[in-house]
C-alpha cells in the first residue's frame, strides 16, 4: 500500500507552493499524507487500546477512583514533560525518521512490559498496595507517551504535504481517524479485558503496533532537506518555542486558553470511566463509549468536508462554549442515554477545537519551528488536564461522592441533579462545565482574540498557485520562496 519513491533528481511537474511557508508541496502530497495519517492512527490505536484496557481493568478490579485518576493524570503529566523535547526532535530530524524511532521505542517498551506482566502474574499486579502494579502502569505509560512523538510529527506533515487552503480539511481528517480509533479502542478494550483478560489484551496491542512498524518502513515522505533557522537548536529548545509563539500576536493567549479549557477534560479524565462503568458495567460501557465516539467521527468528517470557516479561532471558542454547556447538562439526571448522548455531542465538537488550533499554527508559524510550537502548546495543554484530574479524583473519592450519598447532600442537590448513586460525580461535571463556558465567553471579548484573528487573516497565502504551476520550472522555484523569507533556507530542489 505504500507509494513508490520518486527517482532522485526528478522534479514534479506542477507542485503547488505553500506560499505562506516558502516550501513546495509535492503533487501527490495529499495522498502521502493519507498514508501517514492512517499509519499513525493505527499506531496510536494500539497504544490507546492498551492504555484504555489498563484503566478499565484496574477500575473493574478495585472500584477505586483515585487509582484511575492518578493513572490518567500521570499519563498527561508525562506528555506535558516530554512535549518540548518531542517538538524539538521533530524540527531537528526528518519526519519519517522520527516516526520510525518513536514506533521502535514504543514497541520495545511495551514488549518488555508485557513480559513483566506474565512474569509477575495478574493476581500480584492488581494489588495497589504492592509496587508491581505501579511499575507495570508506569512502563506502559512510557510506551504510550513515546508514541505521542508521532502526533507532533503528523501535525507538521500537514504543512509539508498539504496545500494551505486544505489544512483545515486535513486536520478534520485527523479528527475523523482519531474518532474511528477511539471507537475501536473503546469497544475492544472493554471486551478484551472483560472476556480475554489483561494478558491477551497485551498480546493484541503489541502485535498491532508491530504491524504498523512494518508498514511505516515502506512509506516514502518527500522531505529532501531539513530546514533550519539561523540560531542553533538545543535538544529541548524551550526558548525557541517560546519565541516562535511570541512572534505571532495572540498565539500565546490561544495556547493558554486551550490549556485552561482542558479543566473540563481533566475532570472527564478522572471521572468519565467510573461514571460510565457504574451506569453500564465494564463491557457495556466500552460499547456505549464506542457509540459516543461516533460523534468524534462525525465531527471530524464535517470539518474535513466543510473546513473551519473564515476564522478558525472563532470556531474554536464557540465549540469550547458548547462543550462546557453539554458537559454540565449530561449528568443532571442518572440516565444512561443522557450521558451517552452528551458525550456524543462533546466528542463531535472536539475535532473542531483541535483542528482550529492546528490550522492557525500551521499558517502563522514558520515550518521549521512548528514542531517546537506544537510541543510548547502540548506542554501546557497536556499539563492542565492531569493536574485537574489529580485534584478531582481524591476530592471526588473522599469528599464529594460520600457527601452526595448522605441524606443532607441528596436533599440539597436533588432539585438540580435528581437522585442516584453517582450524584457526586454529576455535581463535579456541572461545575467544570460551567467554568468552561465562562472561560470561552471571556475569551470572545478579549483583545488577544482580535490579535490572533488578524494575524491569521493577514498571513493568508497568495492565490497564484495555478499561475505558478503553469510556468517554467525556474519560475515555479522562484515563486515557491516568498519575498520576505526572513533568512530561512528552502528545501533543495
pLDDT 10s digits, 145-202: 887 788 888 888 888 888 877 887 888 787 677 667 666 776 677 778 778 888 888 9
Q: What is the DSSP letter of 63?
A: -
Per DSSP, the three-state class of 14 is coil
Q: Is the pLDDT of residue 140 over 80?
A: yes
Listed in sequence order, the residues at least 6 apart from 483 whose beta carbon sits closer than 8 Å to its beta carbon are: none
Give the residue from 274, 261, 259, 260 showing the smallest Cα distance to 393: 274
Domains, the chain, in order of start with CATH, read 27-220+237-458 (1.20.1250.20)
Per DSSP, the three-state class of 18 is strand
Under the banding of pLDDT at 50, 70 and 90, the label for residue 471 is very low
Q: Is the pLDDT of residue 395 over 60?
A: yes
How much is the pLDDT for 18?
40
Under the banding of pLDDT at 50, 70 and 90, the label for residue 235 is low
Q: Is the pLDDT of residue 461 over 90?
A: no
Residue 96 and residue 113: Cα distance in Å, rounded?
26
Q: Is the pLDDT of residue 112 over 90?
A: yes
How much is the pLDDT for 225?
61
Residue range 44-101, pLDDT digits in tens: 888 888 887 887 787 777 767 677 667 766 777 787 778 888 888 888 888 888 889 9
* Helical packing angle, 167-191 and 282-306, nearest 10°: 170
Looking at every residue in the chain, the average pLDDT score rounds to 76
Amino acid at each position: 500500500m505504500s507509494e513508490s519513491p520518486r527517482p532522485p533528481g526528478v522534479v514534479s511537474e506542477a507542485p503547488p507552493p505553500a506560499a505562506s511557508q516558502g516550501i513546495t508541496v509535492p503533487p501527490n502530497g495529499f495522498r502521502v499524507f493519507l498514508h501517514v495519517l492512517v499509519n499513525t492512527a493505527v499506531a496510536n490505536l494500539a497504544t490507546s487500546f492498551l492504555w484504555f484496557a489498563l484503566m478499565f481493568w484496574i477500575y473493574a478490579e478495585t472500584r477505586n477512583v483515585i487509582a484511575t485518576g492518578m493513572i490518567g493524570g500521570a499519563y498527561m503529566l508525562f506528555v506535558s514533560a516530554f512535549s518540548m523535547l518531542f517538538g524539538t526532535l521533530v524540527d531537528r530530524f526528518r519526519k519519517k525518521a522520527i516516526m520510525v524511532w518513536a514506533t521502535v521505542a514504543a514497541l520495545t517498551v511495551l514488549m518488555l512490559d508485557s513480559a513483566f506482566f506474565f512474569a509477575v502474574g495478574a493476581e500480584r499486579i492488581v494489588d495497589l498496595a504492592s509496587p508491581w502494579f505501579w511499575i507495570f502502569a508506569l512502563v506502559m505509560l512510557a510506551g504510550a507517551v513515546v508514541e505521542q512523538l508521532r502526533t507532533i510529527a503528523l501535525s507538521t506533515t500537514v504543512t509539508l504535504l498539504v496545500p494551505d487552503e486544505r489544512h483545515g480539511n486535513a486536520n478534520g481528517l485527523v479528527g475523523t481517524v482519531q474518532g474511528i480509533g477511539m471507537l475501536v479502542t473503546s469497544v475492544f478494550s472493554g471486551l478484551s479485558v472483560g472476556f480475554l483478560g489483561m494478558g491477551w489484551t497485551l498480546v493484541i496491542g503489541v502485535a498491532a503496533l508491530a504491524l504498523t512498524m512494518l508498514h511505516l518502513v515502506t512509506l516514502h515522505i518527500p522531505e529532501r532537506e531539513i530546514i533550519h533557522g539561523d540560531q542553533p537548536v538545543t535538544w529541548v529548545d524551550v526558548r525557541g518555542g517560546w519565541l516562535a509563539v511570541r512572534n505571532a500576536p495572540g498565539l500565546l493567549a490561544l495556547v493558554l486558553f486551550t490549556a485552561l479549557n482542558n479543566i473540563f477534560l481533566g475532570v472527564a479524565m478522572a471521572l468519565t470511566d467510573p461514571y460510565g462503568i457504574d451506569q453500564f458495567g465494564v463491557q457495556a460501557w466500552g460499547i456505549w463509549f464506542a457509540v459516543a465516539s461516533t460523534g468524534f467521527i462525525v465531527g471530524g468528517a464535517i470539518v474535513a468536508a466543510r473546513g473551519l470557516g473564515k476564522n478558525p479561532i472563532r470556531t474554536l471558542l464557540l465549540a469550547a462554549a458548547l462543550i462546557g454547556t453539554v458537559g454540565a447538562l449530561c449528568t443532571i439526571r442518572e440516565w444512561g442515554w443522557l450521558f451517552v448522548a452528551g458525550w456524543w455531542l462533546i466528542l463531535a465538537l472536539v475535532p473542531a477545537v483541535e483542528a482550529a488550533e492546528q490550522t492557525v499554527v500551521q499558517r502563522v508559524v514558520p515550518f521549521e519551528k512548528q514542531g517546537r510550537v506544537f510541543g510548547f502548546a502540548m506542554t501546557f495543554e497536556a499539563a492542565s488536564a492531569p493536574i485537574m484530574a489529580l485534584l478531582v479524583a481524591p476530592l471526588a473519592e473522599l469528599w464529594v461522592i460520600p457527601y452526595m450519598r448522605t441524606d443532607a447532600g441528596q436533599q440539597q442537590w436533588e432539585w438540580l441533579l435528581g437522585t442516584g448513586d453517582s450524584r457526586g460525580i454529576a455535581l463535579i461535571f456541572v461545575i467544570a462545565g460551567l467554568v468552561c463556558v465562562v472561560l470561552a465567553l471571556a475569551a470572545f471579548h478579549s483583545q488577544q482574540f482580535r490579535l490572533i484573528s488578524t494575524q491569521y487573516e493577514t498571513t493568508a497565502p497568495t492565490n497564484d498557485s495555478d499561475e505558478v504551476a503553469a510556468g517554467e520550472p525556474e519560475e515555479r522555484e522562484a515563486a515557491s520562496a516568498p519575498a520576505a523569507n526572513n533568512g530561512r533556507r528552502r528545501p533543495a530542489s
